[in-house]
Structure formats: structure tokens, C-alpha cells
Structure 1
């Protein structure tokens, strides 16, 4: 599904159907790409290394919800990113206390759909931690989001660069926060969509449809994964399928 990546003019914003065109297409039964999406989600949890993202360190008893650890860095590698050595030193040693102090104040049991403004606001511990991480050498939004998603899988969405390009026009068309400092932020945008009628039920239907043809290993992982991580996978597989099918242009 192609999404116009140009930022809409102010007059055009009101004409957008919902500002959630791509998200709805991914998870709503009956959309042109829904059947392909749930099939790809099932394949993802059967074959891709990313299926182990939420599993890494979970059953060892070593994970501390309020610290970024070696296990969190390893988990990001399941999603094909590498935390640079200098950044790893900052995370694990130099700024470990600062990171721990901020993580301690980020709720562990609040899903994004229920997160209050105080949790997502510009001055919140979560946002301050985000600023800290993206300020580390070699760490951008994608890597930072994957580190935080491993600590708070139901609260922090992954910001894959290709997915964000697909969502660019929709996000720009739907500013969902009255504070200009955070208007259009991805967290607020996704929270507003998750709160729309039927969206959480649609995600669970996507899970059920993906489970129908999944093997034993994939079924276990699919059943346990957070709804937000399920959405991450659905968006990524939909975008990746389009990228793989796009014709390439020859260059002389």
C-alpha cells in the first residue's frame, strides 16, 4: 500500500479520511492487504530472528526492568541493529545510574493505549530517557526505540525507518496533542489510533488469524507477544513486502 510521503498543506489536512490509512489497512479485516499481512506475521514468528526479541533474557531471571543491560543490547541485534561500542559503554557503565533513575519512573504495566499524558509528555522520564539515548554516539531513533521497547514492550513502539516513511503523511495529517512541543509525536499518534473503537479487537483478530496457520513455535510466540509488538511486526512485514515487490531502476 502506497502512502503519500509529502507533508500535506493545511487545507488538505481536513480532507484526510482518518489520518490512519496505513494502520487501518494493516490490521482491519477486509482491507486490500489484510490477508497478506496476517500470513506474513505468521511467517515472521516462524522464521525471523526478530521473533525472539521479547524472549531474550526473559526466562533467565537476570532482567531488571529498571536497567538497560547486555541482554537488552543483544535483543536489539535480533532486529538487525547494532549498538555501537561507545554507546554501549555509556549505557552499561558511564550513564548507567542516570538511565536507571529515569527507567525507574517509567511505568512497567501501562500499555500505550492507556498511557496518560504525564507518561508521554515532553518533560516525562520516558521522553528524557529518549533524549539521552538518541544523544549517544551512533544511536538514532530506530535503535533507541528498540532498546526502550525491550524494557517496556507494551508502552514504547519501535520506530523502523521504512515504516516511519510510510506513516509520514498520516502522522503529519493528524496532530493529536494540544502541546505544540509534542504535536505529531509517534507515541501520541499511535495512542490515539489504539483508542479508536474496535482497534484493539482488530489487533487480537489479526493475532488469531496469524495463529491459524502458524507452527508450534510460532504459535507460542504469537500468543505471548504484546499487542504493540504484534502491531510493530504487522507494520514492518507489510512495508517490507512492498519494498521487496517494488521494481528496481537500472543505473548506468
Structure 2
């Protein structure tokens, strides 16, 4: 079985959980404790310019920015502006060619190298700027999907070329979340199902979704290793 086929199986395992649609809807409830649509819709989000609103929006996913990183991003925004300009604005991950993915990878690596950032925070910032192309990834998502090491985007893109799977994910979309990308819906489904955070556990209890079993341990080849701190709301 190819890696993308395994990822499809793992996605469908999440989608098959009774009540997963209610759990996703709870995440997007504006009166709840989660980021919901605010991550995507807060403030100004021009496609090729990094704003303070972008930095604030990412903190809703329970991360923080170190002063050195903020100064580097705002004072030396040239690499970010140039990097964003090289990434298409209306391209879905499953339709992305090598050039678009490479451009996104270059900017992700630049952000990753900033003080205190790392790959998880970098993915959250890029997901804010390119929600249809860049998936958020953290320890929960990587250990559930277990893609090959350093090939998460490519493997997920291949998995999502199957239109039937995209329709199954799309079926989770709750009222009031029309602007949220399919990648974000998938991320929320995986995270709310498997996160051990207090808010996620409370949400599962509230909608009657049973607690999941333990996540698999990191694999020997590193495909499910933790990239950085992963708590989020």
C-alpha cells in the first residue's frame, strides 16, 4: 500500500467516528473555547503581506511569538513578502504542482529557522496566509496520519486527489464555517478527536464522542515524531 493510501485509511478512521460532525461543529461554535473561524477571519489578512493580525490570529492556536521572531518578521518582512508572492493564493493542495509546493517549502523553512518558531508555528502562520494550500501540522496530526518523514504535504496532497475523500471531509462543514478551507476542516476533525487537551476532552464528552485510544508511538523512521510543542485551543 502506498503512503497516500495509508493516509486515506487513517483519515477515514477519523471520519467514521460516531459524532465527529458534532465535534467539529463544537470547535466552530463562536461561544466555545476554541479558535473556531477567528483564526481565519480575524482582522486584516492581505495575501502577500504579513500583518500584526496574522501574528495575533496564530496565537489563538495556543502558540506564542518570541520578541526576536516578531522583530525579524516585522522589521525584515522582505523575505516573507517575496515568499508569499511566489505562492499562488487560490490553489488547493491536491492540485498543487512541484513549483508551488517548493515555494511554500522555502518560506516554511525560512520561518522555521526564526528564534522560537519551528515547523509547527511556521505551518500555522502559512495556513493563515494560504489556507487552501498549507495544512497545519503538529504532533497530534502527524502521529494520527503518520506520513513518511518530511513528506507530509506531498503525501496528504496525493491522498486528497481522491474526490470521494474530499466530499467526505466536506460533509463535516458546520453552519457558519463556509469560509473555512477543507484542510482546516480535516485538521480540526483530527485534532478534536485525538487531542488530550482539557478543552478537547470536554468537547468530546459534551457531544458524546468516546475517548480515543492512545496515539501510536513515534515510528522508527521518524514519520510520526513530534516537530515541536503542540498544545492548542
Q: TM-score, normalised by structure 1?
A: 0.72
**SS of residue paired to 1:225:** coil
**1:108/1:16 Cα in 2 relative to 1: closer, same or farther (>3 Å)?**
closer
Deviation by residue 1:195-216 (Cα, 9 ceiling, x = unmatched): 1240111122222xxx3xxxxx
Unaligned runs of 5+ in 2: 202-210, 215-233
**SS of residue paired to 2:185:** helix
**1:184/1:85 Cα in 2 relative to 1: closer, same or farther (>3 Å)?**
closer
Query: Which residue matches 1:235?
Result: 190
**RMSD value, Cα:** 2.4
Partner Cα distance (1:132, 1:49) in 2: 28
1:152-231 equivalent positions in 2, closer than 5 A: 152-168=130-146, 171-172=147-148, 185-207=151-173, 211=174, 219-220=175-176, 222-231=177-186
Cα deviation for residue 164 of structure 1 reads 1.3
**Contact 1:149–1:157 (CA<8 Å) still a contact in 2?**
yes
**SS of residue paired to 2:35:** helix
**Contact 1:160–1:236 (CA<8 Å) still a contact in 2?**
no
Cα deviation for residue 49 of structure 1 reads 3.2
In the alignment of these two chains, the number of paired residues is 199
Query: Which residue matches 1:115?
Result: 96
- For residue 46 of structure 2, the aligned residue among 47, 52, 64 is 64
Deviation by residue 1:100-124 (Cα, 9 ceiling, x = unmatched): 111111000101121112111xxx3
Unaligned runs of 5+ in 1: 1-13, 173-182, 212-218
Cα deviation for residue 223 of structure 1 reads 2.2
Cα deviation for residue 16 of structure 1 reads 8.3
Does the alignment pair 1:50 with 2:28?
no
